[in-house]
Chain A
Amino acid sequence: MNSAIPTLITQADPIELIAATTAQLNRVILGKEHQVQLCISCLLARGHLLIEDIPGVGKTTLAHAIAESLGLSYQRIQFTSDLLPADIIGISVFDRETSTFQFHKGPVFSQLVLADEVNRATPKAQSALLEAMEEHQVTADGATYPLAAPFFVIATQNPVYQIGTYPLPESQLDRFLMRIELGYPDPTLERQLLLGQDRRDLVATLAPTLSPQQLLLMQTMVPKVHVSDALLDYVQALVRYTRESPLFEAGISPRASIGLLRAAQAWALIHGHPGVMPEDVQAVLAAVVGHRLKPRDEGAPKTPTEIGQFVLKEVAVP
Chain B
Amino acid sequence: MSAVTLDHRLQRLTPVGQRLVWVIAGLALAVAPHFDHIALWTMLIAALAAAFRMTAEIKRWPLPSRAVCTGIAFASLLGVLAGYRTLNGIDAGTSLLIVMAGMKLLETRTVRDLTVVVFLSYFALFAAFLYNQNMLLLPYMLLTAGLLTMTLMRIHQTEAMALREAAATTAKMFLQALPLAVLLFLFFPRLPGQFWAVPARERAITGLSEEMTPGDVSELTQSGAIAFRVKFEGEAPPPRERYWRGPVMHLFDGRTWRYGGAVQTPQQVESSGSSYRYRISLEPQQRNWIFALDMPTDWDQKRAYRAEDFQLHARQQQLSVLTSFDLESSPTYVTTGELRDSLRRLDTYIPRNRNTRTIELARQMRERAGSDEAFIQSVLTKFGSEEYYYTLQPPALDLNAVDDFLFNSRRGFCEHFASAFTVMARSVGIPARVVTGYQGGEFNPLSGYLVVSQSDAHAWSEVWLEGRGWQRIDPTAAIAPERIERGLDAAISSEEEVPGRMLRQSAVLSKLRMAWDAANTFWNDQVVEFGEDQQNWLLELFNIENPRWQYLITGMIVALIGFFAILSAYLTWKFKPRSRDPVAHVYEQLCRKLAKLGVPRLPHEGPNDYVTRAAQARPELAAQLAEVRTVYVSLRYGPMPLPTQLSRLKFLVNQLEA
Q: Do A and B bind each other?
A: yes
* A interface, CB within 8 angstroms of B: 226, 228-231, 233, 273-279, 282, 312-318
Whether A228 contacts B636 by the Cβ 8 Å rule is yes
Closest Cβ of chain B to A263, distance in Å, is: 16
By Cβ-Cβ distance, the 9 closest A-B pairs, closest first, are A278-B606, A226-B639, A316-B603, A275-B637, A279-B606, A275-B638, A274-B638, A279-B608, A228-B637
- In the complex, A116→B525 CA distance in Å? 91
Whether B606 contacts A274 by the Cβ 8 Å rule is no
Q: Which residues of A contact B607 (CB under 8 A)?
A: 277-279, 317
Is B604 an interface residue when CB atoms closer than 8 A count as contact?
A: yes
19 pairs, CB–CB < 8 Å, chain A vs chain B = A226-B637, A226-B639, A228-B636, A233-B577, A233-B578, A273-B633, A275-B637, A275-B639, A277-B608, A278-B637, A279-B608, A279-B609, A282-B604, A282-B606, A312-B604, A313-B604, A317-B604, A317-B606, A318-B578
- In the complex, A228→B608 CA distance in Å? 15
Whether B604 contacts A316 by the Cβ 8 Å rule is yes
- In the complex, A274→B630 CA distance in Å? 11
Q: Which residues of B contact A276 (CB under 8 A)?
A: 637
Chain B minimum-CB-distance residue to A231: B637
- In the complex, A130→B552 CA distance in Å? 76
- In the complex, A315→B608 CA distance in Å? 16
Whether A277 contacts B578 by the Cβ 8 Å rule is no
Is B605 an interface residue when CB atoms closer than 8 A count as contact?
A: yes
Given the contacts A230-B584, A233-B578, A315 and B637 also touching, CB distance less than 8 Å: no
Whether B603 contacts A229 by the Cβ 8 Å rule is no
Q: Which residues of A contact B584 (CB under 8 A)?
A: 230, 318
Partner of A229, one of B578, B606, B609: B578
- In the complex, A100→B435 CA distance in Å? 127
Contact mask for chain B residues 600-621; partner A; CB cutoff 8 A; 1 contact, 0 none:
0001111111000000000000
Partner of B637, one of A230, A313, A314: A230
- In the complex, A274→B632 CA distance in Å? 12
Q: Which residues of B contact A277 (CB under 8 A)?
A: 606-608, 633, 637
Whether B606 contacts A228 by the Cβ 8 Å rule is no
Closest Cβ of chain B to A268, distance in Å, is: 9
Closest Cβ of chain B to A313, distance in Å, is: 5
- In the complex, A229→B584 CA distance in Å? 12
Whether A226 contacts B606 by the Cβ 8 Å rule is no
Closest Cβ of chain A to B105, distance in Å, is: 33
Closest Cβ of chain B to A242, distance in Å, is: 14
Is B634 an interface residue when CB atoms closer than 8 A count as contact?
A: yes
Q: Which residues of B contact A282 (CB under 8 A)?
A: 604, 606
Chain B minimum-CB-distance residue to A234: B606
What 13 additional pairs, Cβ within 8 angstroms, besides A274-B639, A275-B637? A226-B638, A233-B578, A273-B633, A273-B637, A274-B637, A275-B633, A276-B637, A278-B607, A279-B608, A315-B604, A316-B603, A316-B604, A317-B605
- In the complex, A110→B603 CA distance in Å? 45
Q: Which residues of B contact A314 (CB under 8 A)?
A: 604
Q: Which residues of B contact A279 (CB under 8 A)?
A: 606-609
Chain A minimum-CB-distance residue to B634: A274
Scan residues 553-611 of chain B and give those whose CB is less than 8 A from a CB of chain A.
577-578, 581, 584, 603-609
* B interface, CB within 8 angstroms of A: 577-578, 581, 584, 603-609, 633-634, 636-639
Chain A minimum-CB-distance residue to B606: A278
Question: Which of B606, B636, B637, B639 has the most chain A CB within a 10 Å cutoff?
Answer: B637
Q: Which residues of A contact B603 (CB under 8 A)?
A: 316-317
Chain B minimum-CB-distance residue to A227: B637
Q: Which residues of A contact B609 (CB under 8 A)?
A: 279
Closest Cβ of chain B to A34, distance in Å, is: 15
- In the complex, A118→B633 CA distance in Å? 41
Closest Cβ of chain A to B632, distance in Å, is: 10
- In the complex, A273→B606 CA distance in Å? 14
- In the complex, A279→B605 CA distance in Å? 8
Q: Which residues of B contact A228 (CB under 8 A)?
A: 636-638
- In the complex, A5→B581 CA distance in Å? 46
- In the complex, A274→B577 CA distance in Å? 25
Question: Which of B577, B584, B636 has the most chain A CB within a 10 Å cutoff?
Answer: B636
Whether A230 contacts B636 by the Cβ 8 Å rule is yes
Q: Which residues of A contact B606 (CB under 8 A)?
A: 277-279, 282, 317
Q: Which residues of A contact B604 (CB under 8 A)?
A: 282, 312-317
- In the complex, A276→B604 CA distance in Å? 16
Q: Which residues of A contact B608 (CB under 8 A)?
A: 277-279
- In the complex, A315→B636 CA distance in Å? 19
- In the complex, A229→B605 CA distance in Å? 18
- In the complex, A276→B581 CA distance in Å? 18
Chain B minimum-CB-distance residue to A233: B578
Chain A minimum-CB-distance residue to B608: A279
Q: Which residues of B contact A316 (CB under 8 A)?
A: 603-604
Closest Cβ of chain A to B297, distance in Å, is: 79
Closest Cβ of chain B to A276, distance in Å, is: 6
Chain B minimum-CB-distance residue to A277: B637
Closest Cβ of chain A to B605, distance in Å, is: 6
Closest Cβ of chain B to A37, distance in Å, is: 16
Closest Cβ of chain B to A14, distance in Å, is: 16
Chain B minimum-CB-distance residue to A276: B637
Chain B minimum-CB-distance residue to A312: B604
Q: Which residues of B contact A231 (CB under 8 A)?
A: 637
Q: Which residues of A contact B637 (CB under 8 A)?
A: 226, 228, 230-231, 273-278
Chain A minimum-CB-distance residue to B633: A277
Chain B minimum-CB-distance residue to A309: B604
Q: Which residues of B contact A315 (CB under 8 A)?
A: 604
Closest Cβ of chain B to A288, distance in Å, is: 16
Chain B minimum-CB-distance residue to A315: B604
Q: Which residues of A contact B636 (CB under 8 A)?
A: 228, 230
Chain A minimum-CB-distance residue to B605: A317
Question: Which of B606, B609, B639 has the most chain A CB within a 10 Å cutoff?
Answer: B606
- In the complex, A316→B588 CA distance in Å? 13
- In the complex, A27→B596 CA distance in Å? 44
Closest Cβ of chain B to A312, distance in Å, is: 6
Closest Cβ of chain A to B391, distance in Å, is: 83
Q: Which residues of A contact B638 (CB under 8 A)?
A: 226, 228, 274-275
Closest Cβ of chain A to B642, distance in Å, is: 12
Q: Which residues of A contact B605 (CB under 8 A)?
A: 317
Q: Which residues of B contact A278 (CB under 8 A)?
A: 606-608, 637
Closest Cβ of chain B to A1, distance in Å, is: 32
Whether B639 contacts A318 by the Cβ 8 Å rule is no
Chain A minimum-CB-distance residue to B610: A317
Whether A318 contacts B634 by the Cβ 8 Å rule is no
- In the complex, A231→B581 CA distance in Å? 13
Closest Cβ of chain A to B506, distance in Å, is: 69
Closest Cβ of chain A to B294, distance in Å, is: 79
Chain B minimum-CB-distance residue to A229: B578
- In the complex, A273→B609 CA distance in Å? 14
- In the complex, A38→B32 CA distance in Å? 72
- In the complex, A313→B609 CA distance in Å? 14
